Amino acid sequence: MSEAIARSLTEFARRMEFEASEIAVAPESFTDFIRRVNPRYTWDHLHGVMVDALQRVADGELDRVIINMPAQHGKSETVSRLWPAYLLSRYPDRWVGLTSYAAGLAYILSRNARDYYGRAGGQFKPSARGVMHWETAGGGGMFSAGVGGGITGKGFDYGIIDDPIKDHVEATSPLIHEKHQNWYETTFYSRQRPGSRAAIVLAMTRWDEDDLCGYLLRKPGGKEQWYLINLPAICDPELPPITGSLVGIEPDWRPAGQPLWPEKFSVRFMEKAKSEVSVSTWLANYQQRPQSATLGGRVVHAFSQKNLDELPAPLPDETLYVGFDFNVDPMSLAIAVDRGVQLHFVDEIELSNSNTRAACLALRERYPRHRVAACPDPYTLGRSTIGRIGETDHAILGEFGFEVLLPSDRPSHSDRAAEVNRLFGEPGGIPGVGYVDPRCSSIVRSLLRLSWVPGTREIDKTRGHDHMFDALSFVVHSRRPIRHSTVTSEPLRM
């Protein structure tokens, strides 16, 4: 027998031995697999629902699944740790691609899945047992990456997106929404392995109407039809129905008022959580029905009594950060002092039928010796002031010796609303960093009454509450921006 034939027979025997061992250890079902590799896995009805749906994906009955439920209910353990290990134990020649909001988290989930696969008796390719990328002895494997990051050159048979949004700050940013949508279409979706349609599972807590889940359900064309498992923290038959590109919806088995995981999160626990968060947060993160742009109309939903305090007057050596909304009626100025961690709005000026020069005179008369850093509307750069052709509002600020702080970007109303909500204690921000003196009645009225146009992300400008909000938000964007954009200070002294 030649040496080449002997090598071929040896390789064939090794392959047969490997395939036989895989058949021997492959569980009959995902349920059996979980019980074998993780005996401590906690089973409740909701976990059975997830497991059954993922079993149908593994069996080829479903190829698009969305799972929405609150945090800490077992999504990641089931979908991103145990299920990839099950898939590769059953199909060692296939590939699983896992993504999450941060690459580091995706690597941790991949490592956990690798450990479960090994615990089940799966065999590895010796040279590929990393965290970011590991392979089976059967030619398949798993790779992981962060949402928005590159996965060029890698393809999957099963693609998993586990919580693509990090926090409320990302969730309310139209720029992040657009980034995630583009990433899904141009990077993630195109990484399906050729030859057959790969399966995709999105497991996430809802944050916003325009998050990735909302985009996929509203996506035009109907090319992707999703099986939806949407489970609120508390069963509420009065919640609005979900529509979109759906092949089916998992029915809620619970009576009204029952929590999703009673043994861990009781009714009392959930009622306490509801009392401690904003209404929009409760509906999105807990009830999986985000309505942030329309609910109750409030733009600054994080502002409340906790943010009101009688603040000390500005000291002579403190800089005044003044937001200017260049509107004739009214001309609005929001005056703040940055005191380290806290940003205090200590005063306001509101003038009817006025102009920029009159507003500057009023400010200088009230604070003749203070250094003023003006935060004007960035969209007005180069625009002539009202009634004076060739003279700009920004130049007038310079005439009065004010330093003008110009941001490098031009944030939308939605972005500025997210920054203001974070300042006043929205989840993702630092509680207690934004305060308003209650004597600033126009600022308080604006924060409490400013609303969205129902069903849109446009601010309602018909009631006049937008002017003082704009002035305040220009200061917030300058001193507490969400994105770390460069803020240029231009002293326009004439």
Instruction: Read off the pLDDT of residues 108-156 as tens digits, 9 standing for 90 and up.
Output: 999 999 999 999 999 999 888 888 889 999 999 999 999 987 776 679 9
CA distance 127 to 229: 38
Residue 26: what pLDDT? 46
> How many Å is the Cα radius of gyration of the chain?
28
Instruction: Read off the pLDDT of residues 300-315 as tens digits, 9 standing for 90 and up.
Output: 888 877 888 888 999 9
Residue 293: what pLDDT? 45
54: its two tokens: 């993922």
Predicted confidence band of residue 337 (pLDDT cuts 50, 70, 90): very high
DSSP state of 38: -
Predicted confidence band of residue 295 (pLDDT cuts 50, 70, 90): very low
> Token pair 């992707």 is at which residue?
224
Contact, 57 vs 226, CB < 8 A? no
- Fold of the domain built from segment(s) 305-491: Nucleotidyltransferase; domain 5 (3.30.420)
Q: What percent of the chain has pLDDT over 70?
A: 86
Predicted confidence band of residue 74 (pLDDT cuts 50, 70, 90): very high
Instruction: Read off the pLDDT of residues 471-482 as tens digits, 9 standing for 90 and up.
Output: 999 999 999 987
**Least confident piece of the model among 32-36, 128-132, 200-204:** 128-132
CA distance 451 to 137: 58
User: CA nearest 202: which of 357, 330, 97?
Assistant: 97
Question: For 3-292, which CATH superfamily applies?
Answer: P-loop containing nucleotide triphosphate hydrolases (3.40.50.300)
Give the H or E element holding residue 85: helix 83-90
**pTM of the full structure:** 0.62
**Least confident piece of the model among 89-93, 128-132, 223-227, 288-292:** 288-292
269: its two tokens: 């626990």
Give the H or E element holding residue 487: strand 487-491
Predicted confidence band of residue 487 (pLDDT cuts 50, 70, 90): very low
User: CA nearest 345: which of 451, 466, 480, 490?
Assistant: 480
User: CA nearest 411: which of 357, 359, 480?
Assistant: 480
Q: At 372, phi and psi to the nearest 5? A: -120, 125
Three-state SS at 97: strand
**How is the chain split into domains, by residue range?**
3-292, 305-491
The chain-wide mean pLDDT, for the chain, equals 86
Instruction: Read off the pLDDT of residues 414-427 as tens digits, 9 standing for 90 and up.
Output: 889 989 988 988 65
Q: Is 90 exceeded by the pLDDT of residue 297?
A: no
Task: Answer whether 3-292 and 305-491 agree in fold.
Answer: no
**Least confident piece of the model among 112-126, 248-262, 378-392, 462-476:** 378-392
Instruction: Read off the pLDDT of residues 239-251 as tens digits, 9 standing for 90 and up.
Output: 877 878 889 999 9
CA distance 60 to 52: 12
